[in-house]
A and B are shown apart, each in its own frame.
Chain A
Amino acid sequence: MAAVPPTTGKKWSSDSRQYLAIEYDDTFLVYFRPSGETHFLNFLSYGMVDAVSSMPLSEEEILARMRTDFSLTAEELPEALVATTLSELDQAGLISALGAGA
């Protein structure tokens, strides 16, 4: 797996007007309007997109939020998994970093 660049300090956000999501048994089908692509997300990935739609959050805040919302332990949800998922969501365009590159 490619190394994930550290995102500490960045705030992530998403715009709920840009996507449509339908839930199917803990998975989500997400249509992203800007790219016209349809994505298949698990509950955790969609949870991150949804969490940063109401207010921008840092990686650390997202990690804490996901562990709380889904009752996951540090072992079940390690930091590296969140970092990788954020990177993939960023590549898909579903989330973006505020002040990226700053």
Chain B
Amino acid sequence: MSALSCVASYQRRDLRAALRNGSFTLHLGPFSHLISGASEPLLDYLTDTYRDYPVELSPSDVTDVLLRLEAPNVLRRFVRRQITPNPGFKIPAVPLPLSMAPLAFEMGLNLSVALKCCRFINVHAGVVADETGAIVMSAASGAGKSTLTAALLQHGYRLFSDEFALIGLDQPLLHPYPRAISLKQETIPVVRDMVGDNWISKTVTGTPKGDIAYYRARASDVAQDKIPTKAKLVLFPNFEKGARPVARQLNPAEAIMRLVPASTNYSLLGEPAFHAVTGMLKNIRAYEITYGSTMDSLRLVEQITDQKLV
């Protein structure tokens, strides 16, 4: 495929027309995404947060992900307008006010990749990498994964993903999928202080998940979205207010047993998934880290990797 232009290189009216026609094709990492649903809040979001992402205004090939952002019914297209993500299969999505289009967009892409993509083992995890390999961070929501991911990006790491560790089935390599990092509630000012206001989207307030903002991926990370790497460390971060920093090394088998339930398709893929996940953990260490501040989390990563960060 020839080099594609990025979102920022197109006129807003052309982007709007492509979204209205359902021909807007966003390319990122191993996936192409066919998006439809022109709305000004979505256009605002795409032209800001997704400005550096390659896009086609009419698809040149079959696409991996289909996402329609549409009103839940005819009435809500016009009166107190609402939006809901439709990834082509039934999902229990609550219709959102149109102003929450960024959330519907991100949620729709997450569901599509989590539930339909079987070319990789998907594990819910943040992933960053440097030239020595990737750090995979798996945690429940609110455990500090996104903040730690954002912090590591300020210290020489590139973004693979804040949502998915995509592990190859043929070779247990991690594949980048560097979408914007989703920030919730009190993590928004923390990351804003860390990276600067220009990198954070407008906050979407009052969503079912509270206030949400997105940390834009760097153009350099988007440009390296086809370069996979091996894992070098698996972390299970756990932020606890006021906690003393502690790192506990895990038996690799225990680490794998924690990654398995964090995967949406491990059971579906079966034996190849077992080989891929055990292959990824081969000869690397896994830790559960507990900390009460971002600085402490970086110090723990520094100690574990023996790499100067702070």
B227-255: which have CB < 8 Å to A? 251-254
Q: Which of A25, A33, A38 contacts B256 (CB 8 A)?
A: A38
B274 touches A31 (CB 8 A): yes
Secondary structure of the B contact surface, majority rule: helix
Q: Which of A20, A22, A25, A38 contacts B257 (CB 8 A)?
A: A38
Question: How big is the B interface, by class?
Answer: 10 to 19
Do B257 and A29 have beta carbons less than 8 Å apart? yes
Whether a CB of chain A sits under 8 angstroms from the CB of B260 is yes
Q: Is A40 an interface residue (CB 8 A)?
A: yes
Measured between beta carbons, the chain A residues less than 8 angstroms from B306 are none
Q: How far is the CA of A40 from the CA of B309 in the complex (A)?
A: 35
**A31 and B271 in contact (CB under 8 A), knowing A22-B278, A38-B260?**
yes
Q: Determine the chain A residues whose CB is within 8 A of the CB of B257 once the complex forms.
A: 29, 38, 40
A24 to B252, CA, bound (A): 7
Which B residues are CB-close (under 8 A) to A22?
253, 278
B window 147-201: CB within 8 A of A: none
Which residue of chain A has its CB nearest to the CB of B257?
A40
Query: Secondary structure at chain A's binding surface: helix, strand, loop or mixed?
Result: strand
What chain B residues lie within 8 Å of A24 (beta carbons)?
251-253
**Contact indicator A25/B260 (Cβ below 8 Å):** no
Q: Complex formed: what's the CA distance from A29 to B256 in Å?
A: 9
> Is A28 on the interface with B (CB-CB < 8 A)?
yes
Residue in contact with B271 in the complex, picked from A20, A25, A27, A28, CB distance below 8 Å? A20
CA distance A31 to B266 in the complex (A): 12
**Minimum CB–CB distance for A19 against chain B, Å:** 10
Q: Which residues of A contact B205 (CB under 8 A)?
A: none
Q: How far is the CB of B197 from chain A (nearest CB, A)?
A: 45
30 contacts across the A-B interface (CB closer than 8 A) = A20-B271, A20-B274, A22-B253, A24-B251, A24-B252, A24-B253, A25-B251, A25-B252, A25-B253, A27-B251, A27-B253, A27-B254, A28-B253, A29-B253, A29-B256, A29-B257, A29-B278, A31-B271, A31-B274, A33-B270, A33-B271, A36-B267, A36-B271, A37-B267, A38-B256, A38-B257, A38-B260, A38-B274, A40-B253, A40-B257
Q: What 6 new A-B contacts, CB under 8 Å, besides A20-B271, A38-B274?
A: A22-B253, A25-B251, A27-B254, A29-B256, A38-B257, A40-B257
